[in-house]
């Protein structure tokens, strides 16, 4: 019997991650922050690589190829922000690829398409000099006007074609970097990128870059038309950020209390920025597809996490089929690195992905027992359910009573959204539940929304478009007749970031919602990530128990183990 071919992909930018392919399929993957417990952690990858090796039960010598990607440098074999696991070894071979190529392959490898166009839009990719060092054959694809620039310039959007065997760049755009610190709208991103624009507005509104996704959550509280000027313009097929709007915003946030005092103003700014991003994304992708038509489109890069813009893009019908990569941010770079190694470097056929995005390792009863045997956790004395049906009935009853549940099942999700493996769950319609979870469990701003997780074949009953959205990366509108039943998962403007639950790769979560539906008559649960503000999503049983201890969660379920206050 032939030995398996293992390819390891590693992303060493912020939001670092590692993914392991076995014969072309993902067998394990993890974001570094889940292990180090430092939000958006990146740099050295030894911790995440060791996790993947241990989870698969192999050693470094079993790896056929490593493919890596870092934004502004090419990491050394022995050291990168500390000693690496490859130090002192000559095998496996390490190959480097550029930032946008990794984003693109993360979408290609997990998409349902055998052939497609690929769009990558983010805040800042590889610098031009590094890109050309890694891919000298692509110099011909870079406009001469870009090659002539003296200052540092970086990738900002890229458009490719995948023919089933290889990814070919069709159009790449670069932008000079912002001169950091020269004015209030200066951040270390490319000057003319959509992602860079969204980041600087987030900085202006919140005073920090803790979570640019907050801007999307704030936007529905604002009004359209308050600011009647444009942030972007197209010139000769290239997207640019204009300068004149920057002088119209002169009241940057001075902290959370100041933000709350001027809430309406900042909500209006967020609404304007969100609408500008939506228009820019559609304009940019429309331009590329007009030049290079294709009925299938993969979309990745940090901007592809904007669920509102994604829904507008899908509804625009400018392309027949769109696949939105669930780990579209830099946490997906490792995924793209691994698939590049399999498809392009080793010239192996693409293996159809099953749609699952939960790549973490499973924890055993022995692992869970060990946590509850610790002196500080002996007080909990968990109940262990032998029957899955009884466990689900119990959990559904608690949810229907208005209890909140910390839900820990199987391998963790890869990417920024909790999809029913590491989740906080609650009733979608009990009054004030949303405020309670934000205030007493998540410890975050009260305007932040929660997502509805719905049985897939019921989505059209509760939501207007009824679109398939398994990765919580698209919004829909709650049907008015269900606004009361879904009050905790419907945003101020009637929108909802829906998750359609797939029983094929999320069976226990699907069964729980079905049982809740049987008891409550509602086929929807409130679903949010199992963490609190500033904390990475829980990875281990011990972290789950710790979160239960420091928050107001009512029930914690770890596999078949249940503790209740």
Segment 512-532, tens digit of pLDDT: 999 999 999 999 999 999 999
- Is the domain spanning 112-324 CATH 3.30.420.40? The answer is yes
Q: In which band, very low, low, confident or very high, does the pLDDT at 499 lie, cut at 50, 70 and 90?
A: very high
**Exposed, middle or buried by CB within 10 Å (0-12, 13-18, 19+), for 225?**
exposed
What pLDDT, on a 0 to 100 scale, did the predictor assign at position 183? 58
What pLDDT, on a 0 to 100 scale, did the predictor assign at position 89? 94
| Per-residue CA distances from 346 to 134, 323, 343, 472 (Å) | 17, 25, 6, 33
What pLDDT, on a 0 to 100 scale, did the predictor assign at position 2? 83
Backbone angles phi, psi at 477, to 5 degrees: -115, 130
Segment 16-41, tens digit of pLDDT: 999 999 999 999 999 999 999 999 99
What pLDDT, on a 0 to 100 scale, did the predictor assign at position 210? 57
What pLDDT, on a 0 to 100 scale, did the predictor assign at position 248? 92
Q: Which of 116-120, 185-189, 224-228, 449-453 has the lowest mean pLDDT?
A: 185-189
For 29, the token pair is 């993957």
Look at the alpha carbons of 231, 106, 422, 477 in this order and tell me if their dihedral is positive or negative.
Answer: positive
Which residues lie across from 298 on neighbouring strands?
A: 118, 323
What pLDDT, on a 0 to 100 scale, did the predictor assign at position 74? 92
Domain boundaries 6-99, corresponding CATH code: 3.30.420.40
Q: Where are the domains of the chain?
A: 6-99, 112-324, 365-564
Percent of the chain with pLDDT over 70: 97
What pLDDT, on a 0 to 100 scale, did the predictor assign at position 147? 87
Q: What is the DSSP string of 181-197?
A: TSSTT--SSBTT-HHHH
What pLDDT, on a 0 to 100 scale, did the predictor assign at position 211? 65
What would the mean pLDDT of 534-557 be, rounded to a whole number?
Answer: 98
What would the mean pLDDT of 240-261 be, rounded to a whole number?
Answer: 92
Q: In which band, very low, low, confident or very high, does the pLDDT at 201 lie, cut at 50, 70 and 90?
A: very high
Nearby residues of 318 by Cβ (< 8 Å), 6 or more positions away? 282, 285, 286, 289
> Quick check: helix, strand or coil at residue 404?
coil
At the second CATH level, the architecture of 365-564 is Alpha-Beta Complex (3.90)
Terminal CA-CA length for the chain: 52
| Per-residue CA distances from 82 to 8, 106, 303, 321, 360 (Å) | 19, 27, 30, 43, 25
pLDDT of 432 > 70? The answer is: yes
Segment 99-131, tens digit of pLDDT: 999 999 999 999 999 999 999 999 999 999 999
What pLDDT, on a 0 to 100 scale, did the predictor assign at position 181? 53
What pLDDT, on a 0 to 100 scale, did the predictor assign at position 503? 92
What pLDDT, on a 0 to 100 scale, did the predictor assign at position 149? 82
Say if 112-324 and 365-564 have the same CATH topology.
no
Among residues 560, 408, 420, 400, which one has the least CA distance to residue 503? 420
């Amino acid at each position: 019997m032939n030995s398996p071919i293992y390819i390891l992909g590693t992303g060493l930018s912020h939001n670092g991650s590692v993914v392991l392919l076995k014969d072309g399929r993902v067998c394990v993957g993890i974001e570094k922050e889940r292990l180090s417990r430092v939000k958006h952690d990146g740099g050295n990858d030894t911790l995440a690589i060791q996790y993947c090796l241990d989870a698969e039960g192999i050693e470094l010598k079993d790896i056929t190829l490593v493919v890596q990607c870092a934004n502004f440098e090419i990491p050394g074999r022995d050291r990168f922000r500390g000693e690496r696991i490859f130090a002192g070894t000559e095998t496996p071979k390490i190959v480097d690829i550029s930032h946008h190529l990794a984003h693109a392959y993360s979408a290609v490898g997990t998409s349902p398409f055998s052939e497609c166009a690929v769009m990558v839009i983010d805040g800042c990719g590889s610098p031009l000099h590094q890109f050309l060092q890694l891919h000298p054959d692509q110099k011909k694809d870079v406009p001469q006007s870009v090659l002539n620039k003296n200052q540092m310039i970086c990738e900002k959007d890229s458009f490719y074609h995948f023919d089933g065997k290889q990814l070919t760049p069709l159009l790449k755009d670069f932008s000079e970097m912002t001169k950091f610190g020269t004015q209030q709208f200066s951040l270390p991103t490319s000057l003319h990128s959509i992602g860079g624009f969204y980041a600087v507005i987030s900085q202006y509104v919140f005073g920090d870059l803790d979570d640019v996704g907050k801007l999307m959550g704030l936007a529905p509280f604002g009004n359209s038309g308050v600011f009647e000027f444009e942030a972007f313009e197209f010139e000769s097929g290239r997207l640019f950020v204009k300068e004149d709007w920057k002088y119209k915003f002169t009241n940057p946030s001075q902290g959370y209390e100041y933000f709350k005092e001027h809430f309406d103003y900042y909500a209006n700014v967020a609404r304007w920025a969100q609408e500008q991003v939506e228009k820019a994304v559609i304009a940019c992708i429309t331009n590329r597809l007009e030049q290079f038509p294709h009925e299938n489109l993969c979309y990745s890069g940090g901007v592809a996490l904007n669920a509102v813009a994604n829904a507008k893009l899908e509804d625009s019908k400018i392309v027949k089929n769109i696949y939105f990569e669930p780990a579209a941010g830099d946490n997906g770079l490792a995924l793209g690195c691994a698939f590049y190694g399999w498809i392009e470097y080793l010239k192996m056929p693409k293996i159809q992905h099953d749609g699952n995005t939960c790549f973490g390792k499973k924890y055993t009863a022995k692992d869970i027992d060990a946590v509850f045997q610790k002196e500080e956790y002996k007080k909990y004395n968990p109940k262990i359910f032998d029957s899955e049906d009884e466990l689900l009935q119990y959990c559904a009853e608690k949810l229907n009573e208005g209890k909140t549940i910390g839900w820990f099942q199987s391998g963790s999700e890869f990417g920024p959204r909790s999809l029913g493996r590491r989740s906080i769950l609650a009733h979608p319609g009990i009054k004030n539940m949303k405020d309670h979870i934000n205030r007493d469990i998540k410890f975050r701003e009260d305007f932040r929304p929660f997502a509805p997780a719905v049985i897939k074949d019921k989505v059209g009953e509760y939501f207007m478009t009824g679109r398939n959205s398994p990765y919580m990366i698209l919004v829909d509108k709650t049907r008015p007749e269900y606004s009361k039943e879904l009050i905790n998962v419907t945003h101020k403007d009637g929108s909802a970031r829906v998750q359609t639950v797939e029983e094929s790769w999320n069976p226990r979560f699907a069964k729980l919602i079905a049982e809740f539906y049987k008891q409550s008559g509602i086929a929807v649960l409130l679903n949010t990530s199992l963490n609190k503000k500033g904390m990475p999503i829980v990875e281990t049983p011990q972290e789950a128990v710790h979160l239960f201890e420091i928050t107001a969660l009512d029930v914690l379920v770890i596999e078949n183990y249940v503790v209740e206050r």
